[in-house]
Structure 1
């Protein structure tokens, strides 16, 4: 089954698959993939020292009897400057998400964006020069909200450089498309060529 997506400011449409732009939304699947994607970007470099690693002598701090509470080394966790009981160590936060799940989640997000009218297909999205003002003017004419995501088949250098100083505007080529940028966008501005390439990728 196919469906038609209207191209902005044009009488043309682009035919796309229902499986990609008209599938049911799976909140659990999308949540799992978004969390996994974010976790993959975590550094996981936090490190603390155990009582064995902290710098200090392990000699018994005072005699066993006559001084109140009995204790050994001052490197124990109960003392200031001692080790940490369950010390954090560098680790990977990566979660395994297989390719089929990842693609299904991207398709589910695109379908939901389409249902909400938050996908705008344009014929092309080219800039003559790498100027932020030019991109701002172009986006203003499209009325895409505060946080647009621009997706082109192969994002040009002019487009990347023009968006670099706009923290609320994201630019992706099809290969760099990810679930977090899709979920966070008010409107996804996507070229007709990019739509077909996305369809090929997710098919």
Structure 2
């Protein structure tokens, strides 16, 4: 009897912030009124954002006496975003086979969402990638004669020393563009925070999928097309691999404008925002977490 009580005591769950009727306490006579409630601190499972439930006689299967179980359904409270809490996600593959679970680091995948940081990082990325090779000819570079068109005085006309000036047809451009860099400065810690926010946003939306690997049976494009067609509310998919990208995967995705493949070293905020769904392998998740925790070289 003592072992049964200890087993029942360990199976009675508790949820942080939720008051749970304890049939076990009521059965022991410690809570005689039928509407008394028991408050307890959260367990380690609920802190890790596992879904916590209480066994009931229907789901028990006869393992524990029904008088020791609660008949009331307990719902876990909605998770608050940006609490730096570790998250548990399911690991699958292209065939949607269960490959276990993985814990996502809360310091990377559950940070507060800040649109201003995302805006700054995207501006930095787009400015840095701008080519900046634009150039127009100055008055000394444009083709044409250098002779003075007419004498300085006595004609009643405006004074001109060349026909290559910007006021003449086929003349030079006044203050025209010249090759330059459009890059702007942004602190490394802000860039890193932007990537964390982008990953956290996709995780909060349920658009981050973790795969065991990105292996496909053949290089046929239809393999990727069939998989993407089964995804709901998805227009573009970004595949991120922690290992060197498989040659078959490159061939299968190169003709699909809505599927792109990146190595984990190339993962960036702008690419994440361009795609509805982000698919990462276990290795990619481990490497991005290691990258986010590496001290910044100043």
TM norm. shorter chain > 0.5: yes
In the alignment, the residues of structure 1 paired with residue 226 and residue 265 of structure 2 have an alpha-carbon distance, to the nearest angstrom, of 27
Structure 1: runs of 5+ lacking an equivalent: none
Identify the residue that residue 30 of structure 1 maps to in structure 2: 118
After TM superposition, list the pairs within 5 Å mapping 1:121-160 onto structure 2. 121-143=210-232, 145-154=234-243, 155-160=245-250
Does 2:204 match 1:115? yes
Match of 1:71 in 2: 160
TM-score (norm 2): 0.63
* Corresponding position: 1:188 with 2:278: yes
Deviates further, 54-63 or 16-25: 54-63
| Distance (whole Å) between structure 1 residues aligned to residue 167 and residue 264 of structure 2 | 54
Q: Which has the larger radius of gyration?
A: 2
**1:51–1:82 Cα contact (<8 Å) kept:** yes
Partner in structure 1 of residue 292 of structure 2: 202
Partner of 1:90: 179
Q: TM-score, normalised by structure 1?
A: 0.91
Q: Output the aligned Cα RMSD.
A: 1.9
SS in 2 for 1:69: coil
Q: Distance in 2 between matches of 1:12 and 1:74?
A: 77
Counterpart selection for 1:80 from 160, 169, 172:
169
Higher relative contact order (CA 8 A, sep 6+): 1
Residue 49 of structure 1 and its aligned partner are, at CA, apart by 0.8
| Bigger mean CA deviation after superposition, 100-109 or 143-152 | 143-152
Partner of 1:56: 144
Q: Is 2:257 the partner of 1:173?
A: no
Distance 1:136 1:196 in 2: 27
CA-CA distance at 1:67 after TM superposition: 4.4
Inter-partner Cα distance in structure 2 for 1:18 and 1:109: 13
